[in-house]
Structure 1
Amino acid sequence: MPKYSRIFRRFLISYIIILIIPSIAGYMSYRTAISVTQSISIENKVTQLQKSQEILERRIAEVESFTRQLALNQDLSLLLTENLVDEKANVYGIWKISRDIKAYSQTNDFLKHFYIYLKNFNVIITPGNAYFRPEHYYLTSHYTNLTLEQWKSTILDKTHRSEMMPLSPFMNNGTQTSVMTFMQSLPLDSFNDSAPATVVTILDEQTINGLLSGLRDPDGGWTYISDAQGHTLSLQGINQQEIEQLSSDKRLNKEEMSQFYQDDLVITIRSEQSGWVYRAGIPRHNLMENANKIKYITWSVTGVALFIGLIVGFMLSYRNSAPINRLLGVMKEQFGKDETLGRNEYDFLQGNISHILTNNKRLETELNRQLPLIRDAFLKRLIAGEFQSKEEIASAAAQADTGLNMSVGFTGILQINGYSGMDSVEILNELNAARLILKQILLESGRRLDIHMTDLGSDRIVAIFTPAIQEELEEVRKEDIEQLLTWLADTAFGEYRITITAAMSDPFASILEVSHAYEQARQALEYAVYMNRKGMVWFSETRIESNTYYYPIDVELRLISTIRAGDVEEAERIVQSIMEQNTQNRELSMEMKHQFIGELKGTLLKLLDQKALMESPMFEKMKDRIIGIQTQEGTEVISREITEIIVAMCGLISSKKSDIHIKTVKQINDYIGEMYADPDLNLYRIAEKVERPEKYISQLFKEVTGTNLSDHLEKVRMDHAAELLKHNEYNVDEIAIHVGYNSSHSFRRAFKRVMGVSPTTFRQSIKE
């Protein structure tokens, strides 16, 4: 037995089942074919028996017709009325009749053996011969079970009316046979016991059986005909004793047309005219000859197919189980789980493969998740100038899968306007969404450019514009970037109410110059902020004279933002860093020192423009304190004074910061109170009025008032509606229009939801 024979057996059993299912279907088809073949065979035999019956009855009818013709024969009629003259018969007349009827025996095999008995002449006339003594005829042709006297009394001397004597043994010219005898007295209207003449037709059993020969097969079968009284008229292939036993057996239904009795198919039909019973027996093996051929062919083909199928199944089972066995071996070696195999190898494989796939999927997901971070880190290193050679940049770009084109281009900084000094979680989320929107718009629109972007703080994006590889461009045109950024600004503002400032560098001619281009873009942005310029600014447009002291614009902006946020510790750190840069790392002339301190004082004076500081009673005192800083004082004294002023500012801003939100909410309330009747008044319209993002004002209103903005708008409308309902100047439908509802049905539902009663009930209660 192989080590993993269970898998082999399972495959083999599966193939065997696959073989058995069509075999069962084939067997059902085979049984159906056998049944249909049997039905057709039975139907054919019944049809043959019916045709044989029709032929026999027609031949018997011909015999009856023959007797009627004899009754009309004038010569025979004359002989019937004549008597013996001097004991002499009318020899000529008898001879003539014998000659005339000879033609009948020559043309009809049922009339080969018949005779006419003339009682008045005691003569028997046969075709071509006459016996003046019946005894002479008896010597050549007689019934072996009847004596001469019995023959005379039973047949010759009695009156017969189309009678048929049952099958009887008969001797004809020394030949033993069995015959049926048809008897008819002449004339046809003879009713007395002694008719003048009798026509007797001897029907040989062999002649009758010839009509039924189609029912008998060479290998067996039998036929049987009986009259209405059950007397045997014909037998073939069966003896009288067997017929009597068959007739007396209760298992045989006498009225059923076809049935199986013992090993024979017995077909029985009854003549409606004569009442005769025709019965034929066909051996089952003869009847099913065609079906047996089908059976033998079917079983042979099925047996061969099953044998071949088993061999093929054995081979396929081995071929399909072998890889699984090898896989099981590898799994066991790798995972060392021999003891956990149990009885089901597939569960073992499924568990381990699922574990592998899960780990692989987790690894792939983690790599995909880390890829944007790797790209972002690469771009940050690139703009920071950390790479030393093009080869290093190319390797890092390939690792980050950036597809960066190592050619000319531009570097730009996109700043999202309107969020300075806002540092709540909601605003940061808003800025994050805004950055994503801008990136998506750029990626979808810059079809002729490759754009690589990274975030710079919460409200800035650094973008590197290079020629698209698929476009095979050698340079980036300034006009294309201006058109692109102009479209970006229009789209961002038109669809999302996002305003941006774009600062662009001069073109760089090598990937190594990206960091320098970034510095140019940063300086251009500082210039734009300093000059309060919106839209797009190129570095070539800035002409700020360089100073020897260190106080860049981005540091100033960061200091301003930190103070506006009320973050004392961060503000102190920034000031300390600035002072260290200009005192420890630089030697400033008195003039440069005065300019530097003047810049710091200017930054502090800018911060006084904050409403939180301007409305404070400490404003004038703080302003005088800033102006009173003496530039000739030592840097430590100046630094300490500036730090104290910043601490004071942060304290005032923190205490008064909520006042700005309250005023914004008041502005929203005022606008709603003014425009509540406008059915188009919604969050978008309100945000546009107060010049703030929709999500920002929604969250701000909820934080300050504790109520959703939409609920507040609905409450204001319902309050005004309640005032109008107190008077009878307008009906309910008109009031709905006056408070900003296009549908009176919507107004009624809103009024009941807010007030608890319907408008009609409210008006009625006021009247009462």
Structure 2
Amino acid sequence: MRHINRIYRNNSVVRFLVSYVLVLIIPLATLLYGFKSAFQVVENNINESSIFVLRNGIAKIDEEVKALQGISLQMSQSTNLKDFGGKTVVNSAYSKQALGVMEEYNNSLRYQGIKLIKNNYIYFNTRDIVIFENSLYRVDIFERYIKLWNMEFDEWRRMCANENSRKPRFFVTKEGGLNYIVPFAKELRGDNLGALVYEINKSAIRKYLNFLDEYKIYSMFILNSDKQLIYKEDKLDYLEKLSEDWYNESGIMNVENESITYISADNGWQYILVLPKQVALKQLNSLESFVMVLIVSAITLGLLISVYLSLQQGRPLNTLFSMITSSNTQIRQEISFQSMGEVVTEILRNNETLLEELEYDKPYLKKAFFHNLIKAEFVNTAELNYMAKKAGIELTGENYCVVSFKLFANNDFYEVDEQTLEEVRIISQLVMNYLNERYKEPAWFYKRNTLVTFGIFTVKEDTTNLKELLQETFEWLVAEYNVETNWGISKVCKNLLDIWKNCEEAAIAMQACRDKRHIMEYSLGLENTEEFYFPYIIEEKMVTGMKSGDWAAVEGMLKILAKENFAHRHLDRSRFIKFHRRMTELLSWQEESLGYNQEKIYWLNEAVINYDGEYTEYFERLTNICQEICTVVQQNRSKHRKQIISEIMEYIKDNYNDSGLGLSKVGVEFGMSEGYLSTIFKEGAGMNFTDFLEQIRIDTACEMLKNPENTVHKVAESVGYNSIQSFRRAFKRTMGLSPKEYRA
């Protein structure tokens, strides 16, 4: 130890090296702690994303199952069904009644349009017959269908035979088929007359879970409310490892090498998704590898610099700082830096460019502006123009077009390595510079993620020049950098508040690029028209609009929904009913928060029952309901505001003698800003806050001046003025004469 101490004291190079290494270790330790916290945040975000994707698929299945349970329960209570099931004698009315049961059964299923149903039929115990596809079958004849469905006849008998239990249940066959059985009876007690049987289409369930396609190895299990396994895809052979702890909860758990997501649905079903950790956290693993390379590089470079500087003469910190300030020899000679605070102050003082960059926040405002624009965060045009002006963006065009482009077209976001990330950053900037230099009209860019960028271009009615420039840019990237790109072009937008829709169009067009077609223009044919159109942004803007009473915003969203769903997609009855369910859920939320009348929803349902492809009546009723909600909100807001103004006026009348009374103090008392208080007070009272307060004080002063014993000074102090001079000025301004003249 003494030997080491002697070397340290006698060898200046060792002292300098230890000094630099210590300076290096402190920030690295801080960075490592920060990266650890950041990795935890990323892992949490990935877990939340997994839950969100799974919940999205579950919601669709849940909706179908609820519809199936509702219609089956309704049908099991049918009088026609019970009467027919109780008949034991065949007569002239038997066939007619059977047709009536068939018609009622088919109409109920046709109305709901449930995709989960593959086959459905009614079994009657009393006569051992089956109604299937508008026909009556004896069981011995119906047996051929049973065999086609990969069921043994005895197994089918056990499934249908349940003499006493009225409880609907799911039945899993030996071959893995899934059936939903709903018994029915004439009386509450006694034997069952038969059962409604629905064969579940497992392909439809798998379609709702199509997000699983992005994983190569996984296990997916679905259990019903009785904890019976009704669906499985077990590529990990994980069935035997399932824990009952996951059957009634929702969450994420890491067990050994697997990440397990388990969610309990509203209908009592439990969904369990098992993924290998390297698959579930693929994005995080890539990020950790990238950060580790950066840390190793930083440590290596820091050690090399430490060794080099240790060999130099002079004090370590002064040597380092003299390198930073080498551009100013005089300052380097005169100043001896005593602390880090002095160093930073001196660098800033002698570097005007750095000061300007620190104070210049427009790049951040621009990024925030385009984020809010694309996410439809702006409430109105006035707010949009104000934020654009603040960010230094000149919006002079009348028409705009959105372009979405993706670098490395054949590469996946989660497969990019560290080198590709750096290439993407550089090439993205080159592309934006290339387009800005050659495009004559204003254009702006916003990075959606690492590989994808949105460009907003000012255009005329014709976008030919823009298309030619994009083709030129594509060819330039291939020739110069051997980088292939995909490009999507939206339709022309005339209102920037609706640019989010054009961003959707550009993204859809870009994703449709195939084979050698690298530039695609948006058309309706590129969208999935098999489903109804109701994106989250429209739902959010409608909810916000109705809660704030902004009828113009709500009306705009309704027009988009009508155009997309009925002018473009021509919804059939099944998709229209699903669209209607989504809309009634949204309206029901308003009922809970605003106390809205449920009768209006029933009135809207009438238009659904009468739907024959013509949507005008439906949207007229829907528009009426939404407009009425907005009107109620506006009326309630106006009423509430009047009440607040009345309370504020009473507060002023009670506290006018407080010399400190003003907008600030009243704002704190009523929980609002000075600006907002001033605005609503002027709207409600018809005069400024200051004028009202002054009028109260002067009116009171006039009454007090009528008493000769009250001096002017006493009156001024009693009504809330700090000085007699300010009281005299206010009195003369209001009354037209001084207090002394008024008293005389």
TM-score, structure 1 as length reference:
0.35
Q: Greater Rg, structure 1 or structure 2?
A: 1
TM-score, structure 2 as length reference:
0.36
